[in-house]
Amino acid sequence: MKIAFRKRLELFIENSFEPQLNNHPLTGRFSGYRSFNVSGDWRAIFSEYEEETDKIVIFEVIGTHSQLYK
């Protein structure tokens, strides 16, 4: 999973809205966060902040769809 995440992270850094990532906002208990597909059933949930001219991304949790969205 670490290798898959690193590959997706590289893609995310190049273009955070690359269609393969399926980057989308979340609702419910994860309202205010976003998620992208890491591989198959695995997702990365993150938040984004602007600080002066920088965009800061904090990865909150990585897990399977069923682990995260019960």
pLDDT digits (tens, 9 = 90+) for 14-67: 999 999 999 999 999 999 999 999 998 999 999 999 999 999 999 999 999 899
Residue 43 has what pLDDT? 96
Query: pLDDT at residue 69 above 90?
Result: no
Q: What DSSP character marks residue 11?
A: H
Q: Does domain 2-68 fall into CATH 3.40.50.720?
A: no
pLDDT at 70 over 90: no
Termini Cα distance of the chain:
21
Cα-Cα-Cα-Cα dihedral sign, residues 10, 13, 19, 22: positive
Q: Domain-by-domain residue ranges, the chain?
A: 2-68
SS3 (DSSP) at 4: helix
